[in-house]
Structure 1
C-alpha cells in the first residue's frame, strides 16, 4: 500500500500540479500587492479620487451617540475593493493565457503518421493482375 501511495504521490503530473498551485498562489500575492500598492493609488490620483482601494459609496452613514460611540455602523458599497479584485483577476488571467500560449507554441508538433503501405495480400493481388495481362 505504501508503494502504491508513493507511485501516486510522486507521479510527474501530481508534482506539476502542486508546483503550479504554489507558484500561482505566490503570483496572486504579487499581483495583489502591485494592484493595491501601485496601480490603485496612481489610478485614483489620475481621476482625482484619492486612494481608490478605499473608495466606497455610503448608503447610510454611521450613527454615533453623544459619547462618540457608534450605535449603528456605516453601510457602504466598497466599489474600490471590487475594482482592485477585478484588476487582480484580469492581470492573472492575461499572464496565465500568455504562459499557456507560449507553452503550446514551444511544443513540437507530432510528425504525421506515415501512411500504411499495401498489405502483402494486396501486393500479391496486384502482381497476379499484372501477370494476367
Structure 2
C-alpha cells in the first residue's frame, strides 16, 4: 500500500502536473502550427513555385519493367520529402519564436507597470508631520 501512496504523492507534485499540462498544451499547439503550415503557408509557397510539390521530388537510380510492360523506378531517393520537412521545421520554429517573443513582451509589460504605492493613512501623515517638525527643531 505504501508504494501506491508514494506514487500518488509523486504524481501530484507540482512539477509533474506542470509537465503533464505542458505536454498536452504543446501537442494542441503543435496541431495548430501544423495546420497553419500545411493549409496556409505551404499552398502559398506551392503557388510561388508554380505548383511544385517538394514531397514528390525524387532521384531515380534505376528502372524496373513490370510483367505488364510498365516501367517503374526500382530505387528512388525521395529527397523532396526531406526538403519539405526542412521547410516545415523552419516555419514551425519561426512561428514558435514569434509566439514566445509576444509572450515575453507581454510579461515585460506587466513587470514594467508596478502598482502605485498605497496612499498613507492619516496616522502616517501625522507621524510624518511630527518627524518633519522634530527635524526642523521646532
Report the TM-score range of the alignment, normalised by the length of the smaller protein: 0.5 to 0.7
- Is 2:61 the counterpart of 1:44? no
Structure 1 residues 77 and 4: CA distance shift in structure 2, 3 A: same
Aligned structure 1 segments of 4 or more residues deviating by more than 6 angstroms = none
Aligned pairs, number: 108
Cα 1:100–1:5, aligned 2, differ >3 Å: closer, same or farther? farther
Superposed, 1:1-133 pairs within 5 Å as 1=2, 2-48=4-50, 50=51, 52=53, 54=55, 56=57, 58-60=58-60, 63-65=63-65, 67-68=69-70, 70=72, 72-78=74-80, 79-100=83-104, 102-103=106-107, 106=110
Change (3 A) 1:62 1:100: farther
TM-score, normalised on structure 1?
Answer: 0.61
TM-score, L = length of structure 2: 0.59
Higher relative contact order (Cα pairs below 8 Å, separated by 6+ residues):
1
Stretches of structure 1 lacking an aligned partner (at least 5 in a row): 109-133
| DSSP 3-state at the match of 2:78 | strand
| Ranges in structure 2 where 5+ consecutive residues have no aligned partner | 113-138
Question: Whole-Å Cα distance in 2 between the matches of residues 4 and 105 of structure 1?
Answer: 42
Cα RMSD (Å)? 3.1
Partner of 2:134: none
